[in-house]
Amino acid sequence: MKKAIKIALPILFTVFFLYIAVSKISWTDFWSSIQQTSWTVVLLASVLAVLSVVIRAWRWQILLNPIKKLPYSSVVNFAMIGFMTNNILPAHAGDLVRGILLAKSHKVSAVSALATILVARLFDGLALLTILAALITMIPLPTELQVAGLTASILFISLIGFVLSLAYFAGLRKWLQDWLVRLPERFRHKAIEKYEAFLLGLESLKDWRNLIPIYAISLLVWMEMGLTVYVVMKGFPLGIISETQIALGALTVTVFLAFAVALPSTPGYVGVTQAMFVLTLGLFGISEVNALSASVLFNLTQYIPVTLFGFLALVKEGFGFRELFVQQDAADSDPAILPDKTA
Concatenating the DSSP letter of every residue in 29-60 gives HHHHHHTT--HHHHHHHHHHHHHHHHHHHHHH
In angstroms, what CA-CA distances link 164 with 170, 199, 230? 11, 11, 34
Give buried/exposed letters for 149-158 (b at 16+ CB in 10 A, else e): beebbeebee
Tens-digit pLDDT profile for residues 210-260: 999 999 999 999 999 999 999 999 988 777 688 999 999 999 999 999 988
Angle between helix axes 321-333 and 93-106 (nearest 10 degrees) is 110
SS3 263: coil
Q: Give the up-direction half-sphere exposure of residue 179: CA atoms within 13 A in the CB hemisphere.
A: 6
Q: Which residue did the predictor score with more confidence, 133 or 262?
A: 133
> Could you tell me the pLDDT band of residue 343, with boundaries at 50, 70 and 90?
very low
Query: 343 to each of 96, 273, 338, 339, how far by Cα in Å?
Result: 18, 39, 12, 9
Q: Name, of 93-97, 250-254, 330-334, the range with top average pLDDT.
A: 250-254
Which pLDDT band, with edges at 50, 70 and 90, does 121 fall under?
very high
Query: What kind and span of H or E run contains 131?
Result: helix 110-138
In angstroms, rounded to a whole number, what is the distance separating the alpha carbons of residues 271 and 283?
19
Query: Average pLDDT of the chain?
Result: 89
> Buried b vs exposed e over 293-316: b needs ≥16 C-beta within 10 Å?
bbbbbbbbbbbebbbebbbebbee
pLDDT tens-digit readout, 16-44: 999 989 888 889 989 988 888 888 999 99
For range 113-134, the mean pLDDT = 95
> CB atoms < 10 A from the CB of 241, how many?
15
Residue type for position 302: Q
Asked if residue 292 has pLDDT above 90, the reply is yes
Q: What integer pLDDT is reported at residue 123 of this predicted model?
A: 95
Please give the pLDDT value at position 258. Answer: 93
CB-CB contact of 101 with 327 (8 Å): yes
Specify the amino acid at residue 87. Answer: N
- For the chain, the domains span 2-337
**Verdict on whether the full-model pTM lies above 0.85:** yes
| Residue 338 confidence (pLDDT) | 54
Nearby residues of 189 by Cβ (< 8 Å), 6 or more positions away:
none
Q: Which of 218, 215, 173, 212 shows the shortest CA–CA distance to 195?
A: 173
Angle formed at CA 188 by CA 182 and CA 193, multiple of 5 degrees: 125
Q: Phi, psi (5° rounding) for residue 265?
A: -150, 155
